[in-house]
Amino acid sequence: MAATTHSMESRVGRTNQRYGTKGERLVAGIVPLSADKTKVLMIQSAGPGGWVLPKGGWETDEPTAQQAALREAWEEAGVVCTVLRDLGLIPDMRPHSLLTSHAPKASYQFFEAIVNREEAQWPESHKRRRQWVSYTQAASALASRPELLEALNRSSLRR
C-alpha cells in the first residue's frame, strides 16, 4: 500500500460543505484513542470553549464521512489514525438560541479510531494544542458539548 501524503493546508470555508435533507450541516469527527484505550486525544477549540474532539465539515469531494473524519484528525490534531468503528449519527443538541449562520444546525457522525502516529507539525499546529486525557477529564471538558460527550460515551474508551 502506498503511503498517503497529508496536506499541510487546512481546508477553510464552506463552499464544498455537504448538507442533509433538512439543511443541516454534515459534520464528521474522530474519537482518537490510545492503543490500550485508556486515553483520548483532545484538541484545543479554535474559538473559546476549551478542549474538544477533532471534527469538521464533510465535504463534497470526500466519498465517505470516515474520510472526512480522518482528514479532520490530521488537520486539527496532527494524528494519523485507524478507524475501528462507526459510532453512528448524533443530532445537534444545542438549544436554538445558540444556532447562528456561523454555527448552523448540524448532524454529527463520529468514528472511534486508534492513533497510529502523532506528527510534530500539522496544518493547525499554530493554533491548537493537543493533550491525552482520561475518560473523566474528557467527560468533564465536554460537559457543555452534549454531542461530543455522546460520541465519547459511545466509544470504548476505558471508564
Domain of residue 97: give its range. Answer: 25-154
| Region of residue 14 (left: phi > 0; alpha: psi -120 to 50; beta: else) | alpha
Amino acid at 127: K
Q: Has residue 30 been placed in a domain?
A: yes
Q: pLDDT for 72-116, tens place per residue?
A: 999 999 999 999 999 999 998 877 777 776 666 899 999 999 999
Whether 101 contacts 8, CB under 8 Å = no
Mean pLDDT, residues 21-33 taken together: 94
Q: What's the CATH code of the domain at 114?
A: 3.90.79.10
Q: Has residue 141 been placed in a domain?
A: yes
Q: Has residue 76 been placed in a domain?
A: yes
Buried residues in 88-114 as b, exposed as e (16+ CB within 10 A): eebebeeeeeeeeeeeeebbbbbbbbe
Q: Has residue 16 been placed in a domain?
A: no
Which residues face 78 on adjacent strands?
A: none
Q: What is the pTM of this model?
A: 0.89
